[in-house]
Amino acid sequence: MLSRISENAAAHVKAILGSGDFEAAEPLIADFAARMQMRFKGALSAAEREAVLTETLETFKDWLHLSRVLRSHISSRLHAAIGESRYQAPLCDRPRIELEA
């Protein structure tokens, strides 16, 4: 089980990722990984080390899933905004064809 400090760090990273601020999450993820590495090195038994690795892996999987969902959402919003901007372009910027009789 994650320590209270690690749980708080994991929750903080999840909140930052949930807001879409991937750059701010990067150093927090590195800090979390360092904490988990220290816990792994301090584990006295193979079972304890396995538990640390399992918890760390599950936390990273959770963050990866959240990041993928957000990336997909951001991408769809970007594509929608691009489409809207094309339809809302000023008339003077649109190519026009003049027909003469």
pLDDT tens digits, 36-77: 999 999 999 999 999 999 999 999 999 999 888 888 888 888
Provide the number of structural domains found in the chain: 1
The answer to the question of residue 39 being in a domain is yes
Do the domain assignments include residue 60?
A: yes
Say if residue 90's pLDDT is above 80: no
| Residue 8 counted as domain residue | yes
56 in any annotated domain = yes
Length of the chain: 101
Measured distance CA(55)–CA(61) in Å, rounded: 10
Cα 66 to Cα 37, 70, 79, 84, 100, distances in angstroms = 23, 6, 20, 27, 58
Q: Of 18-32, 36-50, 74-88, give the lowest mean pLDDT range.
A: 74-88
Tell whether 98 is covered by a domain. Answer: no
97 domain residue, yes or no: no
What letter does residue 93 receive in the DSSP assignment?
G
62 versus 101: the higher-pLDDT residue is 62
The residue segments making up the domain with residue 65 are: 4-88
Tell me how far the alpha carbon of residue 53 is from its chain's centroid: 21
Q: What is the pTM of this model?
A: 0.70
